[in-house]
């Protein structure tokens, strides 16, 4: 099992667009993916699950990966969260 934390950088939190990007990426792997925020623990391959987290801007999410490709999945998931935009008020409407 592999565990690490990621930070939600989007000013709107983990809303539909970044959640869809996470699900598209995690669905490529055989490993189980769990994301945890506060008392909520959800399937990282479920768009509904990620939206239920209601993780706001600045939230730290705990990621748990378990499976044959967990290392590769972890590297890619970390890179995805690092690449998600941090928005300013000037480009908030574009998201």
For residue 60, the domain's CATH number is: 3.30.1340.10
Q: Does the active-site annotation cover 57? A: no
Full residue range of the structural domain in which residue 40 is found: 2-87
95 found inside a domain = no
Question: What's the rounded Cα separation, in Å, for the pair 64 and 3?
Answer: 5
pLDDT for the residue numbered 86: 63
Q: In the chain, which residue ranges form alpha helices assigned H by DSSP?
A: 16-26, 47-53, 70-83
pLDDT for the residue numbered 58: 94
Count of other CB atoms within 10 angstroms of residue 85: 13
44 found inside a domain = yes
Tell me the whole-structure pTM to 2 decimals.
Answer: 0.86
pLDDT for the residue numbered 25: 96
pLDDT for the residue numbered 91: 45
pLDDT tens for the chain, residues 1 to 95: 999 999 999 889 999 999 999 999 999 999 999 999 999 999 999 999 999 999 999 999 999 999 999 999 999 999 999 998 764 444 444 44
Say which of 11, 15, 57, 76 is annotated catalytic.
15
């Amino acid at each position: 099992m592999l565990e690490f934390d990621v930070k939600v950088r989007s000013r709107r939190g983990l809303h539909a667009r970044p959640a869809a990007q996470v699900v598209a990426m995690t669905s490529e792997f055989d490993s189980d993916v769990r994301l945890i925020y506060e008392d909520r623990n959800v399937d990282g391959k479920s768009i509904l699950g990620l939206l239920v987290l209601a993780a706001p801007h600045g939230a730290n999410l705990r990621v748990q990966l378990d499976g044959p490709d967990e290392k590769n999945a972890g590297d890619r998931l970390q890179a995805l969260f690092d690449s998600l935009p941090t928005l300013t008020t000037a480009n908030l409407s574009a998201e």
